[in-house]
Structure 1
Amino acid sequence: MNQIQSLLNDCLIRTKHVEHAAIIKLKDNSVWESTVGFNLQPQNALILSSAFFKNLLQVRREGLYFQEKQYKCVRADAYSIYLKNENRGLIAVKTDSYILVATYSEGMYPSVCVEAIEKLGNYFMCIYV
């Protein structure tokens, strides 16, 4: 396990309120790293990147279709997008160079998932410029 994957596991998965996580490079919209079992396809990485840079108002109004599910927008601004689909959710946090993505599922606390991914995003703002 490399250092970035360890960071995802230690900061997010170990909270027990993050199901999966990934980091997308904004430079080329590629998946830099993801947790075991999270197969974030390139088109989904592009969807998230476009949500921040081109379609933020549309995401607020219509939600986002991501990994074969329609998600309702709970919150969307220039730095974070919170989406929900029944008892599941997706949180995306944008830094200068990356988009950090975390998912949660039924039985997990969305607020813990949000706090964990937002804190990791702040860390990335300071360290990985």
Structure 2
Amino acid sequence: MSWQQYVDTYLIGSGKCSDGAIVSAAGDGSVWARSPGFQLSPQEAALLVKTFSDSSQAAASGLFVGGRKYMFLRCDGEAVYGKEREDGVVIMKTRTALVIGLYTKGTVPGECATAVGRVADYLKQHGY
């Protein structure tokens, strides 16, 4: 299965993520797959990777995902959460990737987190 199929089938296809992406956890900003129309800059991707080891910048300035600023809620080492009004972002880390899911008004944040978590767990089980 290609990286794009994980985004299309398990993130967007879940109905719980409005947009999604899988990016490299190496900090180089490379985007492996993303939903149509979702633009995640290499700089944004690199900063998201950094947030897992040092969340102080995100806590002070917010999370920037797809050109949009989200209020940083928390980082527990495996997941980062952000919110902007009734929309939000969930980012989960595997050994080699970050799985990103965005949700919009009407979606329960935990449902988006479950969809993102399923992809992250699958990647972890397969060495990614």
TM-score w.r.t. structure 1 length?
0.86
Give the Cα–Cα distance (whole angstroms) in 1 for the partners of residues 3 and 19 of structure 2. 14
**2:48 aligned with 1:48:** yes
Q: Retained in 2: the 8 A contact 1:17–1:104? A: yes
Q: What SS does the aligned partner of 2:58 have?
A: helix
Residue 114 of structure 1 is matched in structure 2 by 113
**CA distance in structure 2 between the aligned counterparts of 1:12 and 1:43, rounded to whole angstroms:** 23
Q: Percent identity?
A: 27
2:122 alignment partner in structure 1: 123
Instruction: Indicate if the aligned counterparts of 2:22 and 2:32 stay in contact, CA closer than 8 A.
Output: yes
Asked if structure 2 preserves the Cα contact closer than 8 Å seen for 1:47 and 1:66, the reply is: no
Unaligned segments of structure 1, at least 5 residues: none
Structure 1 residue ranges, 4+ long, deviating more than 6 angstroms after superposition? none
- Taking the aligned partners of 1:59 and 1:78, their CA distance within structure 2 comes to 14
Report the Cα distance in structure 2 between the residues aligned to 1:60 and 1:76, rounded to whole angstroms.
9
In the alignment, does 2:103 pair up with 1:97? no
Partner of 2:31: 31
Distance 1:48 1:79 in 2: 12
Following TM superposition, by how much is the alpha carbon of 1:69 offset from its aligned partner in structure 2, in angstroms? Answer: 3.6
Aligned residues: 127
In structure 1, the residue corresponding to 2:101 is in which secondary structure? Answer: strand
From the superposition, tell whether residues 34 and 67 of structure 1 become closer, same or farther in structure 2 (CA, over 3 Å). Answer: closer
